Amino acid sequence: MSAKVKDRIATGVIIFFSALIIAVLVGMLAYILVRGISHIDWHFLTSEPETIKAGGGIGPALFNSIYLLVLTLIITIPLGIGAGIYMAEYAKEGRITASIRLIVEVLSSFPSIVVGLFGLLVLVNTFQFGFSVLSGALVLTIFNMPLMVRVTEQAFRSVPIEQKEAGLAMGLSHWKIITSILFPVALPAIITGTILAAGRIFGEAAALLFTAGMTTPKLDFTDWNPTSLHSPINPLRPAETLSVHIWKVNSEGLSPDAAQIAAGASAVLVIMVLLFNLLARWVGRLLYRKFTSIK
């Protein structure tokens, strides 16, 4: 068999598997959206869920998911990027650095339910945070931190060494080189890592069952006192997220339209993840242009 024929066969196999992966992904998205999008309306998106009656919505669960996503990213992004920069630019190679990398790798492979049980024992019970948004955000930070650290470190290490040497030749400080030269080049990869982390946050259910809880107090969106139980911004209140609500509706199924509620909520979850990905990429391009325009 000639090299040309082997090349064509290999190219055909690669194209086939690529098309198969795309077809499976498109099929999954189409199935979820076709089943659920007809149940989505303004009442469904804003109304309270019903336990035994038909016609319930996902308003509190949708708000809880967005609130938990924002709070988790506020904690995760600075810590993850800071730790990744330290590992890439400041940490000296040795046993300690190798041990840290090993710990990061081990944490990244932990099942989410194990992390959730850790959050239940430590955050909910030991530190007395209770079933709350804060407990959920902290356990998701633990869950996503290894990803952010690893992505940031690899992004900084992938920057050509010539760019760093050029900065040193110009007399720039190490921190100035990091912020003005390395960070803009590494930003697209960091944005990708943030998107991956956000997707895991928005779709996570197992860890949140043990930390954020499976109920939500009646929210009063006119009450912005962060210490009030019914305030939507209170980080110490229980918060049933959209993914947990889907699991709960499917497992209990007490309302007569449970299947329709689960289908609609699943479609909303997929749409929110897609919209966040598009928004994050748009913001990433803006930040990249801003940083690269700095002289």
- The predicted-structure confidence for 127-160, as pLDDT tens digits, reads as follows 999 999 999 999 999 888 888 898 898 889 888 8
The torsion angles phi and psi of 280, rounded to 5 degrees, stand at -65, -40
DSSP 237: S
CA distance 246 to 240: 10
Q: What is the mean pLDDT of the chain?
A: 86
All domains in the chain, ordered by first residue: 40-292 (1.10.3720.10)
Chain centroid to Cα 237, Å, comes to 21
Q: What angle do CA 20, 22, 28 make, to 5 degrees?
A: 100
Closest-CA residue to 58 (of 294, 269, 203)? 269
Residue 295: the pLDDT is 47
pLDDT at residue 20 is higher than 90: yes
Summarised one tens digit per residue, pLDDT across range 232-271 is: 999 999 999 999 999 888 887 678 888 889 899 999 998 8
